[in-house]
């Protein structure tokens, strides 16, 4: 399941997403969604950046954090992570954009989606 699918499914019941040949979202097949859920799903779709990789290696992620001056801040924030997120940080070789680790770090460090996405975009080029 793609990141976009997961993000939209988190705010509205859907059957699926339909893309054009260039990978751009054409439509969302809703499954009994309310207008508020449809609006939320459309907002998620509008904000989605397909240039952000779904995952990078831990090495790539750490180098991107280091280059941005955030590595030490993340190491400090790691002390406040849940057990599950700490295990993810310590034991995974790959860091997924949509993971408990990223969700918790984003909350603890008050990072925006744009900042997180920038880390992942920069990491993919390392």
Give the domain ranges of the chain: 3-47, 55-124
pLDDT band at 94 (very low <50, low <70, confident <90, very high): very high
pLDDT band at 33 (very low <50, low <70, confident <90, very high): very high
Calculate what percentage of the chain has a pLDDT beyond 90.
Answer: 64
Model pTM score: 0.70
User: DSSP for the chain?
Assistant: --HHHHHHHTTS-EEEEEE-TTS-EEEEEESS--HHHHHHHHHHHHH--TTS-SEEEHHHHHHHHHHTT-HHHHHHHGGGS-HHHHHHHHH-SEEESSSHHHHHHHHHHT--HHHHHHHHHHHHT-
Q: Is the pLDDT of residue 1 over 50?
A: no
> Which is higher by pLDDT, 47 or 99?
99
Distance between CA atoms of residues 43 and 62, nearest Å: 30
Distance between CA atoms of residues 23 and 60, nearest Å: 25
Taking only the tens place, the pLDDT of each residue in 49-92 is 778 888 999 999 999 999 999 999 999 999 999 999 999 999 99
Instruction: Give the mean pLDDT of 95-119.
Output: 92
């Amino acid at each position: 399941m793609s990141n976009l699918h997961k993000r939209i499914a988190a705010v509205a019941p859907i059957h699926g997403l339909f893309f054009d040949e260039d990978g751009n979202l054409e439509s969302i097949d809703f499954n009994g969604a309310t207008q508020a859920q449809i609006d939320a799903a459309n907002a998620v779709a509008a904000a989605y950046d397909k240039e952000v990789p779904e995952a990078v290696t831990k090495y790539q992620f750490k180098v991107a954090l280091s280059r941005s001056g955030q590595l030490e801040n993340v190491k400090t924030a790691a002390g406040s992570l849940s057990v599950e997120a700490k295990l993810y940080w310590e034991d995974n070789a790959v860091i997924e954009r949509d993971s408990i680790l990223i969700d918790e770090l984003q909350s603890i460090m008050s990072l925006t989606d744009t900042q997180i996405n920038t880390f992942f975009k920069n990491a993919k080029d390392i």
